[in-house]
Amino acid sequence: MPTRREFLTGLAIASLAARLPAANRAAPRRAEVWLEDHCLSQESALGFRRLLKRDTVTNGSTQSSIASSSLIIVPGIRRMSPARGNDLLQRMHDGTWVVLESGVGFSSMAEAKHQADLFKRIFGLKLLPAVKVAQCPAVATYVEYTKPVCRLARTFEAITPIDCEPTEVIARFGRHSVCARKRVGRGGLVFLGSMLGPGLFAEEREALAIGAALVAPSANPVSTLPQLRGI
């Protein structure tokens, strides 16, 4: 049974989608998954690849050579280089939506600080120190997504909270903001401070619902559809 918010959001999207040209609605978006060279990223990538296949979204190569992809997923980030970060930023400005899934919680303190500095400098994202889920009081068992769908997803041992505008937050873990979405140029950025890919790989029902909504064109529209912003 959908919640009232999901029902109303569904209605809003449906009515807006009905006004769009047919080609925009039907065309699958071109998506790529950019791996890092460690098991955290690779396991998560398997989950995202499965999701993209399930949703009949084109699944691109591990190394991007195509500038026209409308969605890039970077799973389990621990070692992003400045060059790759700047490449992603440029693509966002050009109209691509990028999903950055943090694996920083599993890095050493020095590595985590380096990544936090890079995220701040390039993407304007302020990462907070990682939180080990097992050390939290048992008040929160799941990450609670509120956009683009309301669902609870399993946490993944270590989360990366962020400091961002309340309007940008799409998921929380207890009192921590852990996932956010914001516009960058003609595209945008989705930051996942709790890993979703392993849940997708395990075919967790709620993770699949969240993942499908996150990669759907209506969730992260290109700038020709500004009226969808904020839904």
Partner 1 sequence: MKKSTGDNFFPNAMRFTDGLALLKRAGYDGVELWLGERPWFQMQTTDAEIRAMGRQVRDAGLEVSDVANALDWKENIASRDPEKREAAVRHIKRQIEAAQIVGTDAILIVAGVVTDDTPYNEVYKRTVGTLQTLVEVAAKAHVKIGVENCNSEQRFLLSPREFATFLDEINSPWVGIHLDVGNIHDTGFAEQWIEIHGPRITRIHVKDVHKHRGRCGNESVYTNIFLGDNNWPAIREAMRKVNYDGWLIAEMEARYQHAADQQVYDTSSALTRLIAGRF
Contact 198, 43 (CB under 8 A): yes
Residue from 141, 223, 224, 227 touching partner 1 (CB under 8 A): that is 141
Task: Kindly tell me the burial class for residue 208, based on how many C-beta atoms sit within 10 Å of its own C-beta (0-12, 13-18, 19 or more).
Answer: buried
Contact 198, 45 (CB under 8 A): no
Scan residues 199-228 and list those touching partner 1 (CB under 8 A).
204-206
Judged by CB under 8 A, does residue 59 bind partner 1? no
Judged by CB under 8 A, does residue 136 bind partner 1? no
Task: Kindly tell me the burial class for residue 184, based on how many C-beta atoms sit within 10 Å of its own C-beta (0-12, 13-18, 19 or more).
Answer: middle
Which helix (H) or strand (E) is 3 found in, with range? none
Judged by CB under 8 A, does residue 128 bind partner 1? no
Identity of the residue, 29 or 151, whose beta carbon is nearer to partner 1 in the bound complex: 151
CA distance 162 to 77: 15
Choose the stretch contacting partner 1; rule: CB under 8 A; options: 25-33, 41-49, 134-142, 156-164.
134-142
Helix axes 39-54, 205-215, angle to 10 degrees: 80
Q: Between 167 and 206, how does the x/- string for binding to partner 1 read (CB under 8 A)?
A: -------------------------------------xxx
Judged by CB under 8 A, does residue 146 bind partner 1? no
Q: Which residues contact 1 (CB under 8 A, 6 or more apart)?
A: none
Residue from 38, 55, 142, 225 touching partner 1 (CB under 8 A): that is 142
Judged by CB under 8 A, does residue 87 bind partner 1? no
Q: Between 1 and 40, how does the x/- string for binding to partner 1 read (CB under 8 A)?
A: x---------------------------------------
Q: Running DSSP on this structure, what letter comes out for residue 94? A: T
Judged by CB under 8 A, does residue 134 bind partner 1? no
CA distance 41 to 39: 5
Identity of the residue, 52 or 143, whose beta carbon is nearer to partner 1 in the bound complex: 143
Minimum distance of partner 1 from residue 219's CB (angstroms): 21
Closest of 176, 187, 193 to residue 217, by C-alpha? 187
- List residues near partner 1 by CB under 8 A: 1, 138-139, 141-142, 151-152, 154, 204-206
